[in-house]
Amino acid sequence: MSPPPSPQFSMKQEIENLLEQAVADLRGRGELSDAAVDAAAGARVQRTRDARHGDFASNLALALAKPAAANPRDLAAKLVDALPASDAVEKVDIAGPGFINFHIKRDAWLRVIDAIDSAGESYGRSDRGAGRRALVEFVSANPTGPLHVGHGRGAAYGDAVARILSAAGFDARREYYINDGGRQMDILALSVWLRYLQGGDGGLGKTVARHFPVNAYQGGYVRDLAAAAREQHGDAFMPGGANDAGDAADAADATTVDTTVDTLFAALPDDSEARIDALIARCKSALGDGYRRLFAHACDALVGQIRDDLLQFGVAFDTWFSERALLDGGDIERAVAALDARGHIYEQDGATWFRASAFGDEKDRAVRRADGSHTYFASDIAYHFNKAGRGFDLLLNVFGADHHGYAGRVLAAFEAFGFERERLQTRLVQFATLWRGNKKVQMSTRGGQFVTLRALCEEVGVDAARFFYVSRKNDQHMDFDLALARAQSADNPVYYIQYAHARICSVFRREMESGAADAGAPAALTEPGEFELLQTLSRFPEVVEAAAAAFEPHLVAYYLRDLARDFHAYYNAHPFLSAPPGVRRARLQLIGAVRQVIANGLALLGVSAPKKM
């Protein structure tokens, strides 16, 4: 799938190489100590903000100054003297406290056009990851309801990170962890069952409706699940009908059922959470084996719906990992045993504990309760033990901000297993505060009050929604105004970028129609705007690398806006098709390169690059 990495044009890399040789030279002559060079390892070559500082600047001399106990400007002068000759460098000067500024020959920038042309879709890709295997786990919402807009940010972010890691040479996979083992899922099954009873024969509707718990799942989708259950399983989930579903539809059964429903709601605890737990217990005993089938019906249906919603959103997971599979497969026992073997497990007050505090967590955490049941954390430990055991070099967990308390304990367990800390990375995605105009939108899955991801896609479109989500740094709080997103969808920055792509495609369509065949070379480019574009184009591989290294897709989004801005300005200032013969071809080559890079960049964000708008 991923094209082989090709050696790519990188002016920055060239400058870095020159400096490296200069340092080696000075070190060889004894003018720099090894210790000083090591201490200055953090020095970097970076693009300048101000053209007067040249095209690239290095703070190497500043970083070396202290460990080498020398004046930074003197050091800079020595480094400059030791620089090997390069046909790309116009001149080098020393500025300010000791920056080394590189001015690139204009002609050298022209090379980027050929580099993009020959690399095509793989321009921007690198082998930085060297084929290392990465697993990105994201979304992982409980299948207790459809995905809502709060999940969208994690979905857009995680998917973009996976795409960017792939581009950076990692073998990246996407995984969704299905939390299908907990109490929330029992509440869902109960909710579906009650709606099922409510919709059945026997006059149960009013009774059930009156007793439907406020803290059960209220959403309309629960009724849909109940209706589907009835369609697929008939009366199988009626109390008393579970064991002899075949002939349960007798008139006599109505009274049986009615009585059961009365007792179902009789003498319940006052506390709402205790009440719902009691109802779950009654549901289980009423259905017997049927409970498992009802549970599976609800869970499978919702997971399927989530999968469809995500596919529509452009996110395809490689694996769907079920918590129940962990439970059934004995993974929890194995994981706890592994920790125990390393001496990190102890018993206290009848419960079993993991010594998380020994690995930087705030306190020790229970993995097994006094009653013998395992905690939620235990399955999480087992899950990460399993993931690490599958041979991934990098595990990236994308958590919602409300799970941040988790990162510490999961990392503690990971380390306790003997895995290197760095293999497990966690990135938090902050909540998006939803607004409709100036009114805050409250969201609750149990209460059924939420805007679904699907509805968002239909309202503002997948491209606009995805771009918006990844246009903010993941740990930054963000406001999402639904009214604005809808009203201003045409002003969304994503269209600005897509429009640049469409405009270029349009130019080439016109060119095809004209049938003109002329020659030309990039050397005919002389306008300042053309060199700005060339420099921006040459930045793309650096942006992708930086985005991959820090898991920051927003860097790509901002880069694309820069590139589109440079292009639109150029478009308005210069003709392409009606330019003089040699220049004409060169300009078309330039904008062809722009089109390629926009398409490559948008693909990293999972956003389409339309040929027409």
Partner RNA sequence: GCGCCCGUAGUUCAAUCGGAUAGAGCAACGGCCUUCUAAGCCGUAGGUUACAGGUUCGAAUCCUGUCGGGCGCGCCA
Q: Which of residues 285-314 bind RNA (CB under 7 A)?
A: none
Q: Is 101 left (phi over 0), alpha (psi -120 to 50) or beta?
A: beta
Does the protein bind RNA through residue 612 (CB under 7 A)? yes
Cα separation of 575 and 569, whole Å? 12
Containing 497, the helix (H) or strand (E) segment is helix 493-514
Tokens 């080098």 label which residue?
Answer: 92
Residue from the set 112, 276, 502, 594 that interacts with RNA by CB under 7 A: 502
Does the protein bind RNA through residue 366 (CB under 7 A)? yes
SS3 123: coil
Does the protein bind RNA through residue 322 (CB under 7 A)? no
- 171/542 with CB nearer RNA: 542
Residue type, 295: F
Residues 535-554 that bind RNA (CB under 7 A): 542, 546, 552, 554
Number of residues that bind RNA (CB under 7 A): 93
Cα separation of 574 and 568, whole Å? 10
Q: Provide the minimum distance between the beta carbon of 300 and RNA in the complex, in angstroms, as a whole number.
A: 18
Residue from the set 303, 473, 486, 603 that interacts with RNA by CB under 7 A: 473
Burial pattern 376-395, b for ≥16 Cβ within 10 A else e, equals ebbbbbbbbbbbbeeebbbb
Residue from the set 91, 292, 390, 477 that interacts with RNA by CB under 7 A: 477
- 493/582 with CB nearer RNA: 493
Give me 109's structure tokens: 């920038």
Residue from the set 84, 510, 518, 580 that interacts with RNA by CB under 7 A: 510
Residues 95-124 that bind RNA (CB under 7 A): 95-99, 101
**Three-state SS annotation for 553-612:** CHHHHHHHHHHHHHHHHHHHHCCCCCCCHHHHHHHHHHHHHHHHHHHHHHHHHCCCCCCC
Does the protein bind RNA through residue 495 (CB under 7 A)? yes
Cα dihedral sign, 57-58-61-67 = positive
Q: Provide the minimum distance between the beta carbon of 512 and RNA in the complex, in angstroms, as a whole number.
A: 11
Does the protein bind RNA through residue 455 (CB under 7 A)? no
Residues 543-602 that bind RNA (CB under 7 A): 546, 552, 554-555, 558, 561, 565, 568-569, 571-578
CB atoms < 10 A from the CB of 334, how many? 14
Residues 239-278 that bind RNA (CB under 7 A): none
- 54/239 with CB nearer RNA: 54
- 258/558 with CB nearer RNA: 558
Residues 171-190 that bind RNA (CB under 7 A): 179, 181-185
Residues 418-447 that bind RNA (CB under 7 A): 428, 430-431
- 21/375 with CB nearer RNA: 375
Residues 221-240 that bind RNA (CB under 7 A): none
Cα separation of 322 and 177, whole Å? 6
Residue from the set 217, 221, 313, 377 that interacts with RNA by CB under 7 A: 377
Q: Is 372 left (phi over 0), alpha (psi -120 to 50) or beta?
A: left
C-alpha closest to that of 219 among 434, 455, 432: 455
Residue from the set 227, 351, 455, 603 that interacts with RNA by CB under 7 A: 351
- 293/611 with CB nearer RNA: 611
Cα separation of 77 and 93, whole Å? 9
Give me 537's structure tokens: 């184009």
Containing 436, the helix (H) or strand (E) segment is strand 432-436
Residues 30-89 that bind RNA (CB under 7 A): 42, 44, 46-50, 52-53, 57, 59, 62-63, 65-66, 72
- 171/323 with CB nearer RNA: 323
